[in-house]
Amino acid sequence: SSRLAPSRAAESISRVARKRGLPAMLTYEHHYINGAWVKPAQAAEQLDVIDSHTATTCARVPAGGPEDIERAVEAARAAFDSWSQTPMQERKAKLAAALANWQKKKPKAIEWLQKELGCTKKFASQVQVNLVDAHFGVSLNVIDGLPMEEKLNDLFVVKEPIGVVGCITPWNYPLNQIAAKIGPAMLVGCTVVLKPSEVTPICAYLLAEAIHEAGFPKGVFNMVLGTGPGCGEHLAAHPQVDMISFTGSTRAGRRISEVAAATLKVVRTELGGKSAAVMLDDAPLDKLVPEFMQQLMNNSGQSCDALSRMLVPRSKYDEAVQRAKDFAEKLKVGGFGDEKASMGPLVSEVQWEKVQGLIQKGIEEGARVVCGGPGKPEGLGDGFYVRPTVFADVKNNMTIAQEEIFGPVLSIIPYDAESDAIAIANDTIYGLNNAVGSADADRALSVARRLRSGTVMINGTARNMEVPFGGLKQSGNAREWGRLGIEEYLVTKTLAGRPKAKL
């Protein structure tokens, strides 16, 4: 049946495989369009999902194409008029129901985050799966305090949903990025077409099941699986899509922006980063070196806001390098289900090769390997494992200090004066995140104001989902999370003349 839930469809395929004596393969054959699980419009090839721990295929999903995007956009457009006029309390109830349903999906999501992404069981269960709760929950809490109308000079200025939103999300925090986009968008009355990463699609299916079971009206939420060129670009170009919300690499963000420009739609991007942790000369290195490094090593270094550069005054340089070395050498890279592992493998062979190439480039350009280096950790030969690596004697014009590595690699750069540290931190095409460490909070705040990034962490790495997240320069223009994350999906309308009735 075209309405068969993907999990049930996959189970039936697995039973057939077992009868034939073949290894069971989780196979999804459906997109989610107009309130139903539907087969691709054309007989589509299947995309392999790779287990990061074993480098073997662990699932397959359909490779959608332009016709599937066309059907999904058509459904979203048809649903918009009704959904945008649905009372807020009804929209809140649907999102709350989806969140409640998600709780039942978490055990399976934890399993698949380890397989398709490679993160540790601890990081999957304590962080990744709970980001749906964080974003849906914050949106539900914040929305009632967001004024949707105001009176200016006897005229009314109102905020309305922007329309059909195309959401294109990455593999590194798959649930986080989906929830941060579709939750606020649907809550304010937009309809959405989601194109999740084909690298980590199983988590997207699980969340789509939770949304389907919540009983949203047909066409409010749609999901098409496929590649960026095969699906994402068609979604970005579609004239019936009012907005694209994209998270991914800066290279892909440029392409999406180019394709979307033909229709002059709104494009919001959250892209790469090359974030610096600026240690001032009074920074408590014993506390901050481990904390800033943990922020980098989370998710095996595959975070857009990872603090991958550390700037240290020459007077404290040797101490900082030693503390970084000590921290990195204590990290345990482990396999699937390893309860003691602090890091898992990278997501894919492509990512592994990229990180290995950049580590080698750092060596060739004269940086000093303090620990780690090329190759895999001992005893972990099958998956995409990387040795946590610390480089010292790095100059900011080196490739490893300029390019986003997206792996567990730290570059430690010495500086002379505070003004030099600020200049080095800002000497990058990116502007997503930075950090400052100082025993003097006022001094740290003064430096933070001069750093060109959407976020600056001060004396720690704590996050609050109610404050905006986004970048400057080539890190993109989006502001997600909290109130500003909701406002991304609203447009302002002026009701001119003199309405008799109060709105």
Active site residues per annotation:
270, 304
Backbone angles phi, psi at 70, to 5 degrees: -60, -45
350 vs 173: CA distance, rounded Å: 17
- Check if the beta carbon of residue 204 is closer than 8 Å to that of residue 198: no
Amino acid at 74: E
Around 187, how many Cα atoms within 13 Å sit in the side-chain half-sphere? 31
The type of residue at 207 is L
Residue type, 38: V
- Angle, helices 174-188 vs 88-112, to 10°: value is 170
Q: Which of 232-271 are b and which e, b meaning 16 or more Cβ less than 10 Å from the residue's Cβ?
A: bbbbbbbebbbbbbbbbbbebbebbbebbeeeebbbbbbb
Q: How far apart are CA 170 and CA 181, in angstroms?
A: 12
- Reference 164, options 44, 83, 274; nearest CA is 83
Instruction: Compute CA 73 distance to the chain's CA centroid, rounded to the nearest angstrom.
Output: 23
- Say how many C-beta atoms besides its own lie within 10 A of residue 156's C-beta: 17
CA distance 288 to 309: 13
**Is 122 in contact with 465 (CB distance < 8 Å)?**
no
Structure tokens at 407: 């792996």
Q: Among 54, 88, 67, 428, which residue's Cα sits nearest to residue 275? A: 428
